[in-house]
């Protein structure tokens, strides 16, 4: 959505031109298993052979019920999950005049969808799961779980197993240095915290070191970070940098 500011994500008007990103900078995390970057609302799955990475949009925890950062594994694979909403969630729904049952059986009315993967974290309350709704992906709407499109979770469910590594990070700024020394930066809007304020944007260490070495690019970097388009942007051409080093 950051690449299409001003356009209604649910009802775009006829004739509006959309920017659909097809390139991403990978998060600064170990490239294995599942990596979720909360700041960009994306899940990355790395093939075991290391040859390919698959990228999916996700929904994450809303303000007040944030999805925590973690390094963990999948503890349980569940096909046809039932949903037992905790007391806190049932009370929150009651405030809106909605009474939830103690248990929702598997089926079309289950908000977890058809597949769920429990994470080995806390009391096991966090899942990567599907949905029975037609909205919520790419948004902060869940009670802390990671929500995927039904077809995406179905595919991912077949690729992973109990013990698959999962990393959940929060990296609004990502950096990539190409083999020719070209530098790209991808900046996303930071998440809003419980206090209603945006989390501060701290430059990644590798970016700060690079800017300190090539002072001419600091203004360019600052501009890209402030725009927060979510698109990889060339900061410095490798050929030019190589010339400076000679």
Helices (H), the chain: 87-95, 150-159, 205-213, 218-227, 238-245
Residue 129 annotated to the active site: yes
Helices (H), 99-231: 150-159, 205-213, 218-227
Tell me if 136 sits within 8 A of 10, measured CB to CB: no
Kindly report, residue by residue over 62-116, the tens digit of the pLDDT. 998 899 999 999 999 999 999 888 887 888 778 888 888 888 889 988 999 999 9
Catalytic residue, chosen from 22, 31, 54, 145, is: 145
Q: Please state whether 22 falls in left (phi above 0), alpha (psi between -120 and 50) or beta.
A: alpha
**Residue ranges of domains in the chain:** 29-169, 173-245
Q: What's the confidence (pLDDT) of residue 164? A: 98
Q: Please give the C-alpha separations between residue 178 and each of 41, 212, 239, in angstroms, as whole numbers.
A: 24, 19, 11
Q: What's the confidence (pLDDT) of residue 99? A: 84
Q: What's the confidence (pLDDT) of residue 46? A: 98
| Strand 140-142, strand 60-61: pairing | parallel
Q: What's the confidence (pLDDT) of residue 77? A: 98
pTM as predicted: 0.87
Cα 45 to chain center, whole Å? Answer: 12
Kindly report, residue by residue over 184-200, the tens digit of the pLDDT. 999 999 888 765 666 66
| Residue with token string 């569940």 | 78
Q: What's the confidence (pLDDT) of residue 136? A: 85
- In whole angstroms, what is the distance from residue 167 CA to residue 102 CA? 31
Q: What's the confidence (pLDDT) of residue 170? A: 96
> pLDDT 10s digit of each residue in the chain, 246 long?
565 566 666 667 677 777 677 789 999 999 999 999 999 999 999 999 988 999 999 999 999 889 999 999 999 999 999 988 888 788 877 888 888 888 888 998 899 999 999 999 999 999 999 999 878 899 999 989 999 999 999 999 999 999 999 999 999 999 998 888 788 999 999 888 765 666 667 888 888 877 777 666 677 888 888 888 899 999 877 655 555 554
| Residue with token string 């800017």 | 211
Q: What's the confidence (pLDDT) of residue 135? A: 81
Three-state DSSP class for residue 4: helix
Report the CATH architecture of 29-169.
Beta Barrel (2.40)
Q: What's the confidence (pLDDT) of residue 117? A: 98
Share of the chain above pLDDT 70, in %: 85
What does the block give as tokens for 24? 């991403």
- In whole angstroms, what is the distance from residue 57 CA to residue 69 CA? 17
Three-state DSSP class for residue 11: coil
Catalytic residue, chosen from 13, 22, 31, 129, is: 129
Q: What's the confidence (pLDDT) of residue 61? A: 94
């Amino acid at each position: 959505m950051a690449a299409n500011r001003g356009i209604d994500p649910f009802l775009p008007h006829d004739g509006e031109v959309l920017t659909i990103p097809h390139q991403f900078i990978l998060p600064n995390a170990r490239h294995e298993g599942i990596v979720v970057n909360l700041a960009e609302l994306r899940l990355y799955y790395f093939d075991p052979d290391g040859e390919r990475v698959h990228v999916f949009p996700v929904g994450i925890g809303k303000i007040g019920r944030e999805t925590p950062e973690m390094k963990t594994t999948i503890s349980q694979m569940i096909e046809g999950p039932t949903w037992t909403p905790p007391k806190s969630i049932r009370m929150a729904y009651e405030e809106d005049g909605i009474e939830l049952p103690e248990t929702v059986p598997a089926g079309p009315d289950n908000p977890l969808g058809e597949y769920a993967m429990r994470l080995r974290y806390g009391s096991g309350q966090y899942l990567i799961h599907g949905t029975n709704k037609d909205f919520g992906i790419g948004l902060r709407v869940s009670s802390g779980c990671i929500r995927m499109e039904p077809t995406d979770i179905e595919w991912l469910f077949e690729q992973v197993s109990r013990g698959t590594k999962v990393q959940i990070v929060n990296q609004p700024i990502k950096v990539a240095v190409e083999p020719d020394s070209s530098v790209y930066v991808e900046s996303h809007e930071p998440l809003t915290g419980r206090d209603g304020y945006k989390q501060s944007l701290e430059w990644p260490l590798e970016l700060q070191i690079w800017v300190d070495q090539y002072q001419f690019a600091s203004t360019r970097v600052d501009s890209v970070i402030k725009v927060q388009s979510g698109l990889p942007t060339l900061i410095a051409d490798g050929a030019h940098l190589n010339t400076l080093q000679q």
